Amino acid sequence: MNPSPARIGLVVPSSNITVETEMPRLLGRHPDRSFSFHASRMRMHTVSPEQLRAMNAQRERCVLELGDARVDVLLYACLVAIMATGPGEHRSVELSVAEQLAAGGARAKVLSSAGALVTALESIGARRIALVTPYMRPLAEQVVRYLEEENFEVADWRALEVADNADVGCIPGERVMDAARSLDLDGVDALVLSACVQMPSLDLIQAAEDEFGLPVLSAATAGAYNILRAVGARVDIPDAGSLLRADATVPTH
Q: Which residues are catalytic?
A: 78, 196
Q: DSSP secondary structure string, 44-62?
A: --B-SHHHHHHHHTTHHHH
Q: Could you give the 3-state DSSP secondary structure of residue 203?
A: helix
Interacting residues of 225 by C-beta distance below 8 A, sequence separation 6+? 116, 119, 120, 123, 217, 235, 243, 244, 246
Give the CB-side neighbour count of residue 76, counting CA atoms within 13 A.
Answer: 31
Q: Dihedrals φ, ψ of 145, to 5°?
A: -60, -40
Q: Dihedrals φ, ψ of 166, to 5°?
A: -65, -40
Closest CA to 182 of 199, 215, 158: 158
Q: Are the C-beta atoms of residues 133 and 117 closer than 8 Å to each other?
A: no
